[in-house]
Structure formats: C-alpha cells, structure tokens
Amino acid sequence: MFTFKGKKMDKLKNNIVFNFFNRLIVKQIILAIIFTGLLFAVVANTVAPEKIDVKVGDIAPTDIRATKDIIDIDSTEELKEAARESVEPRHRIDPSVQVKMKNKIKNYFQTITDVKDSDEENVESQIAIIKINSELNLEDEQNIVALNMDIENLTMLESNIYDIINQIMGTGIKFEEIEYEKENVIKIFKSLDNLSIQESALGAAIINSSLSPNRFLDIEVTEQKKQEAADKIDPIIIEKNQIIVSEGTKIDERAYNLIKKIGLVKEEGEIAYKILIGSLLFVIIMELLICAYLYMFNREVLNSSKLLILAIIILCTIVISQAINSIDGYLMPVAAASMLIALIVDGKLAILVNFITVITIGVITGNDINILITLLIGGSVSVYGVIHMQQRYNIFLTGLIVSISHVLVILAFGLIGDIEISQMLTIGLYGILNGVFSAILTVGSLPLWENLFGIITPLKLLELSNPNQPLLKKLLLEAPGTYHHSIIVGNLSEAAADSIKANSLITRVGSYYHDVGKLKRPYFFKENQINGENPHDKINPNLSTLIITNHVKDGVEFARKYNIPLPIRDIIRQHHGETIVAYFYHKALQQDDPELIEEKNFRYEGPKPQFKESAIIMLADSVEAAVRSMQEPTKGKIDGLVRKIIKDKLNDGQLDECDLTLKDLDLIAKSFVKVLMGIFHERIQYPDIDLKELKGAE
C-alpha cells in the first residue's frame, strides 16, 4: 500500500475524483469490469475460429483443419446415392393377367368344340363363328387346323398350352421380355413329339396371341429398398483437427462447403454475434457463481486485496493452461491455482474456483471429459493437501500426492476405455509432471503474492514464528526481557483468539513482534532492566513518555527493515492504540503545574486497534505486564485485575474501532485467566531445611 503524508495527502483527500475512485464499491466494479473483459477476450478469442478469405478454385494457403466434428454432407450423400443405385428394382407379378389369358384360351377351345358339334358344315361360316366368339386373333388356316382336330387331340393341345403358360408366366414376364418369350413358346412346341407341325404352330399361335406381360416394376417397394440401403450408410465425419484441404491444394465445391460449415470462411462485414454473446454470458455466469459464494460465506474477501489476487490467479491459470494445452492437456497446472487460493484466500473457495476453472478451460480447449475430470480431482486433492500445511517444502509433498491422484484417475479411465499400455504410460507421465510443475509454480509464486500484496499465508506466519528469524533472534539477544514478555503475550493472545474464533496464528505471531521497537532503547523498558537501575529516574516525564511511545514507530521501522509483512506491522502500530502512559502522566502532574500538563502529550499516537487480533494483543500486553507486577497472585486477584484492565480499555475508547462484542471480551478475560493461572500458579512453601544439620541428626 502507498501512503502519503502532509499536504499531499490532504490535497488528495479533498479531491472529488480521488475520493470517488477510492470508494470500495467503485474499486470492486472496476475490478469486475477488467476481469470480465480479459476473461471474455480469452474465451471469445479461443472459441471463435480464425476466419480465412477463400473461395472455390483458390489454392489453400495452409492446411485447413476442422475446428470441430462435422458431417461431410456431400461425400455422405454421394455414398447414399451409390447405395440407392445399387438396389435392384423390385417387381410384382399380376396373377390376373394369367387368369385372363387362360380364360381367353379356354373360350377359344370351347368355341371350336361348339362349332364342331353344330350342324354348320360350311367352313367359311364356321370360321366366321369362331372369330365372332373368340378373343384370339388367329389366322384362318390355324382355325381350320383346330376344326380338323379330333376332340382328344384338342384336349391334349389345350392341356399342353396350360402347362406351358404356367411354366413361362410363373416367374413373370416383363414387357421387354414378351418377344423373347414368344420365340421361346415356338421352340417349346416344336420340341413336342405328340403334335404335328400344324398343331404345334397352332398351339404357339394360341399362346402368343394372348401373351401379355404380368411382371411389373413395384415403384413403392423399390423406393423403400433404396431408402433402406441409403439409411444404412453412416455419415462421413470430419473430426476435429482433421485436414479438410492440404496446403497448396485446390479448393473444390465440397471442401468449400465444409470450410463454410465450420465457420472459417471470412465474409465481408461479418461479426460472430452468437459467439460473442455466448462467451460473455458464460463468463458472467462463472463470475456470479464465485461472487455469490463470496457474498454468502467469505464476504471479507470482497473487501480486501484478496479479491484482486483471486482474479489474477484465475486469469493466469487459464492463460497458462491454454498455452500448455498445445503440448498435452494433462499438463495444465490447475492444481497450482487451487493450492495458491487455499493458502492465500480460503480452502473451501479453492474447491469452487477449481471446479469453475476446469469448466472454463474445458470450454476454451475443447478437451475430452477424461482430461477435465483428472484436472478436477487433482485440483481438489491439492486443496486438501495444503490446508493444514506447516512448511513450504510440504507443498512438494502435496504435488507428489496430486501426481499420484492423476495417475490413478488416468489408470481408471485407461482400463475403462481399454487404452493401450504404452499410451497409458505416456499420459501417466504427463500426469506426474503436472503435479510436480504445479508444486514448483506454487512455491515459486507464493512469495510474489505475499510481498506484492502484503498477504500473510499460514506458511509465512509459521516462518515468522521461528526463533531463528533474524528480528526475533535480535530481540532475544538484545532485549531478552521483552522477548520473554512477547512469548507470554503470544500464549495469552492465541488462547483468547481461539476462544472467539479469531485468527489465532496471526495473533500469536503478531504478539512476538509487537514490541520489537524496544530494541532501539531496550534498557528504558522495565523488563530489560536487570541491575535494577531505571534511566527514567534521571529524565523528565515528557522525555520518558516520548521514549516509551516511540517504540511503536521504532517497531514499525524495524519491521519494515526486516521485511515483516504489512498485517504484522499494523499490529505493531495499533497494539497500544491511543492509550495514555499513566505512570509518567501522573509523575508529570506531581512535578509540574497540572494546568500546564496536556493529557494528549502522554498518549500513544495510535491508531486504535482496527481488527480483533490487534485488540486482543493490546489487552494481552497490558494484562501480562500488570499480572507480572502482582504480589502473591491468586486466581481471584488475577481475574479481578484482568477484567479491570479490559474495562478500562473499553471505557477509554480504545476498543471502539474493532468489532469485539461484550461476549467476546468476557471470553477473552476467561482465557487470559486460564493461561495466567498456568503461569503464576500458587506454589507450595517448602520449609527451610539445613541439610548438614539433617545429616548430623542421622
């Protein structure tokens, strides 16, 4: 954070524009607009295919690949048409044709019989009668042959005719086969030995004069069979990334239609409104899910720099994953984002962001469900691994666990999909590298977030609590009394923070550093005065007050010099609030004219505690110093003193700007008493025994 002093700061505070943009809601809106715009640009630019300016007959400037799976309609239709053409036409036999034919022939023979039985002897008259009553158009000579045959031969000829009709019409005769069948009938009759030449010719003439096609094309059935054959043809699929037209190849009508279908053809004035609107809606939905969660469960994140960190991590993860996807989708370091968010912001939020990030990456990259589920599980596992982490090197252990989870998921999908062992091994190697890469990315970038945004992670706090930390070691060596006092304050503060569900870790670590300003003049503070000499006895109360109150400023300077994070520096700055230095104030009142003494000159500059943790440290600091000076402390005395100190701080207005409730103060008092009783417990008075006298008595 940047701070301004003096007139510059006052001028900025009076600037309307500065005040407007310095409002929290305005900052949140600006961040939302920027984040939405950047994420929308990434999604829309990736989802929308790059257009190319080509037409039929052009030479492909590069390999043109399909951006998605599409059906090659032209090629598929060609195959279907070929299947239709391969279907033989279906015919149907009309039995009525054969029946009519036999009826005509039967009528002819009946007429011949009737004429032969009649009294008419004139041949011409007989032929006339036959032509009138018969539907067969035979020559006169053929009718005369029939009249000259006896009844037995006529019956035999009629029988032969029916047999031949059944034979040639049983399988059906098409129109174009009529002449062939007539010739065939003639050949059949010539082959019969029981008929004369004239009788054979008569039989052939009878059949051929009445022969009609009885096998016709069945259009309905034929079309049905053709459609069935066409339906059996599977569509030709052009798969994603498959080459439609190779570089240097002429673009034909089919290829152009495919390129146009996948939306790659650049058309003048065209704007992909659907893609843009869809991408924007998708981004807004993802953002609303995160914002709704934060509003419901982590509202404090919305009011802090962690919101900016969250936005940057999500964007960086998506961009990095998009770049790495060109190598292999299993390498995308989604787990790194999950670990960072869990360490910096919140573990539960990290689970949600992991889910949303994987969905977004899936939309952008178009990866299959196996990759997305693997990344989703790996990211979730990484969150569980870092929630209660104690050391930075444990992040690498979490990375190893993520790698194992990737391998197990890949193995599961490989067995389900019956993937070859060699392919599973390759994918498994990528899964292992993903876990390692995510761990390296997390460890490498974590200090950046901590230092750039002043964020304290649990890992950073644990490192700061190490006694070998340079500033703590300096405090131990140069101001051991203050160091011991800080440790006890840390114990008191941690217990109090636990009792009211505050951040106990930052409270304990803040306690360790709250008095580091005393390093500048350690012997001016009671806990470091080993030989009993008090330098304040030799100087006036105003100077003593200045030295005492300046340890806050000095502490901030020491913390800044040793790169102690901003939240700890805030604790150092706030841990005395605007408390009055009562001892020297009363001393000044005794030495000088009370009317000349201004109380404000004997108070710390502040600010007052702004959050629970700094307020707890203020109370613990005062309580520890007061109880340490008690004579023969008992539980009752300690409890009374603790509650009096808390009440005095409350009445003095030092707790006005933090959100501690009266219930919190009661729980804090109880936790203080419990810890102090463990330190200043009543001891047994052992008798003064002279061991030499005891031995002599023995």
User: Do 523 and 652 lie in a common domain?
Assistant: yes
Residue 65 covered by a domain:
no
User: Do 488 and 434 lie in a common domain?
Assistant: no
Residue 197 covered by a domain:
yes
* Among the ranges given (377-391, 506-520, 561-575, 672-686), the one the predictor scored with the smallest mean pLDDT: 672-686
Q: Which of 449, 482, 512 is the last residue of a domain?
A: 449
Which residues pair with residue 237 across a beta bridge? 71
% pLDDT > 90, the chain: 43
Residue with tokens 């299959």: 368
User: Do 424 and 518 lie in a common domain?
Assistant: no
- pLDDT tens profile 478-522: 999 999 999 999 999 999 999 999 999 999 999 999 999 999 999
Q: Are 168 and 181 in contact (CB under 8 A)?
A: yes
- pLDDT tens profile 311-329: 999 999 999 999 998 889 9
The parent domain of residue 649 ranges over 460-679
User: Do 476 and 610 lie in a common domain?
Assistant: yes
Question: Could you say which DSSP state residue 528 is in?
Answer: G
Q: Which of 192, 217, 242 is the last residue of a domain?
A: 217
User: Do 533 and 421 lie in a common domain?
Assistant: no
Answering whether pTM is above 0.85, one says: no
Helix (H) or strand (E) holding 691: helix 691-697
Q: Is 335 a residue whose pLDDT tops 90? A: yes
What token pair was written down for 347? 């573990």
Residue 297 covered by a domain:
yes
pLDDT at 691: 47
Give the Cα separation of 694 and 674 in Å (integer). Answer: 40
User: Do 602 and 487 lie in a common domain?
Assistant: yes
User: Do 482 and 622 lie in a common domain?
Assistant: yes
Residue 13 covered by a domain:
no
Looking at every residue in the chain, the average pLDDT score rounds to 86
Q: What band does 526 get if pLDDT is binned at 50, 70 and 90?
A: confident
Residue 134 covered by a domain:
yes
Q: How far apart, in Å, are the Cα atoms of 383 and each of 114, 250, 401, 552?
A: 111, 53, 11, 38
Residue 278 covered by a domain:
no
User: Do 335 and 473 lie in a common domain?
Assistant: no
Question: Could you say which DSSP state residue 248 is in?
Answer: T
User: Do 429 and 466 lie in a common domain?
Assistant: no
Residue 570 covered by a domain:
yes
Alpha helices in 387-536 (DSSP H): 394-416, 421-453, 458-464, 470-478, 480-499, 504-513
How many domains does the chain divide into?
Answer: 3
- Higher local confidence (pLDDT), 138 or 404: 404
Alpha helices in 170-270 (DSSP H): 178-190, 197-210, 219-231, 253-261
Residues listed for the chain: 698
Question: Could you say which DSSP state residue 501 is in?
Answer: T
Give the Cα separation of 289 and 300 in Å (integer). Answer: 17
Residue 689 covered by a domain:
no
Q: Is 596 a residue whose pLDDT tops 80? A: no
Q: Is 579 a residue whose pLDDT tops 80? A: yes
Q: Is 27 a residue whose pLDDT tops 70? A: yes
Give the domain CATH number at 615. Answer: 1.10.3210
